[in-house]
Amino acid sequence: MKACVFVSAALLPAVVMVSAASAQTVEQFYQGRTLTIMLGHPPGGSYDLYARLAANHLKKYVPGNPNIIVEHRPGGGGVRATIFFYSQSPQPRRRDR
């Protein structure tokens, strides 16, 4: 159950980006892109198995044939992966008051 929640949370930014790109078709948007499923656990465990199964399933159903990879960032109970994900996300602009 936790793996499904984590995979869903990992895919949420991709869904948000699709809604922001209304000038393109979905196929054009995903063409040549790489989707990353990031795990906070080492390879070889059950979370790895669930993520790889999800990646194989997504390859069949995401239009545009993007590359889907599973990236492992173990450490700190998932904190290391969370920090990396946060640092790669675009940050909102702050207005000086």
Indicate whether 94 belongs to any domain.
Answer: no
pLDDT, residue 38, reads 92
The answer to the question of residue 9 being in a domain is yes
**Which of 9, 93, 97, 17 has the alpha carbon at shortest distance from 51?**
9
Instruction: For residue 96, tell me if it sits in a domain.
Output: no
Secondary structure of 1-30 in the HEC alphabet?
CHHHHHHHHHHHHHHHHHHHCCCCCHHHHH
* Model pTM score: 0.63
Residue 31 inside a domain? The answer is yes
Contact present, 63 and 26 (Cβ < 8 Å): yes
Q: 72 lies in a domain?
A: yes
Structural domains counted in the chain: 1
pLDDT tens digits, residue range 8-35?
566 666 655 555 545 889 999 999 999 9
Rounded distance, CA 68 to CA 24, Å? Answer: 20
User: Does residue 64 surpass a pLDDT of 60?
Assistant: yes
Looking at the DSSP bridge assignments, the partners of residue 36 are: 69
Query: Domain containing 34: what range?
Result: 2-13+23-88
Residues with Cβ within 8 Å of 24's Cβ and at least 6 positions away in sequence, in order, are: none
